[in-house]
Homo-oligomer: A and B are copies of this chain.
Amino acid sequence: MSQERLIEIETGILSENDRHAQINRRRLADLGAYAVNLVSSPGSGKTTLLCATIRAMTGPVAVIEGDQQTTNDADRIRETGAPACQVNTGKGCHLDGHMVGHALDHLGIGQDTTLFIENVGNLVCPAAFDLGEDAKVAILSVTEGEDKPLKYPDMFTAARLALLNKVDLAPHCDVDLDLYEANLRRVNPGIEIIRTSARTGEGLEAWIGWLASEAAAKRRKTAAE
């Protein structure tokens, strides 16, 4: 197959995805909800951090869980009392706008709901797929090493916020957290960074504060339109 034909196909897939993403974005705005797309490597601690986040939050939340297989993560989220919808992608490597649209039908999303979309663990493919979220949030485990932002730049360019997670493990790893942050800013000078640990609770308040502040900014913007 020619390179031109491959590019044409890819463009077609992405533009179809963007159409679904725009429908989701409109729908979430009409409902008065705020949505983040959580992206990371497998095993960065997304679900554990998300459970701790939900337990510490006071407002309404809903969760879409993406994985190739199993309903483990949605089950863990439901234990917190939050509604969760699991999407299994099978051989697929990312959530797309169409899948998220279907998942929205199964969640009671209303005014001031914070919607967390936990993407398939993958630092490459989810970067290209808009889901209709308000912001992408990248979660990195400190155990992954400081060079990850440089090696997977698309994801960190696309993210508004990075959560540098499992900081409780930093003393046991050969990791330089300042260099980690410098590398994030090297690929994305505007990225915000919060150091977090679901184990010790470090950074949870700042992360929940960030969510509240972004949701409030969206409400003001929507009211002004």
A residues neighboring B (CB under 8 Å)? 1, 6, 9, 12-13, 16, 41-43, 45, 67-70, 72-73, 91-93, 120-125, 128, 141, 143-145, 147-148, 150-154, 166, 168-169, 172-174, 199
Which chain B residues border A144 with CB–CB below 8 Å? 42-43
What separation, in Å, do the CA atoms of A67 and B149 have in the docked complex?
A: 12
Which chain B residues border A172 with CB–CB below 8 Å? 168-169, 172
| Shortest Cβ distance from residue A6 to the other chain B in the assembled complex, whole angstroms | 8
Are B154 and A91 within 8 A (Cβ)? Answer: yes
| 23 residue pairs bridging A and B, Cβ less than 8 Å apart | A1-B12, A1-B13, A6-B13, A9-B9, A41-B41, A41-B121, A42-B144, A43-B144, A43-B145, A43-B148, A68-B124, A68-B153, A68-B154, A72-B147, A91-B154, A93-B124, A121-B123, A121-B152, A122-B122, A122-B124, A124-B125, A143-B143, A169-B169
Are B41 and A128 within 8 A (Cβ)? Answer: no
Which chain B residues border A12 with CB–CB below 8 Å? 1
Are B150 and A43 within 8 A (Cβ)? Answer: no
What separation, in Å, do the CA atoms of A143 and B128 have in the docked complex?
A: 27
Please, which residue of chain B has its CB at the minimum distance from the CB of A88?
B151
Are A151 and B72 within 8 A (Cβ)? Answer: yes
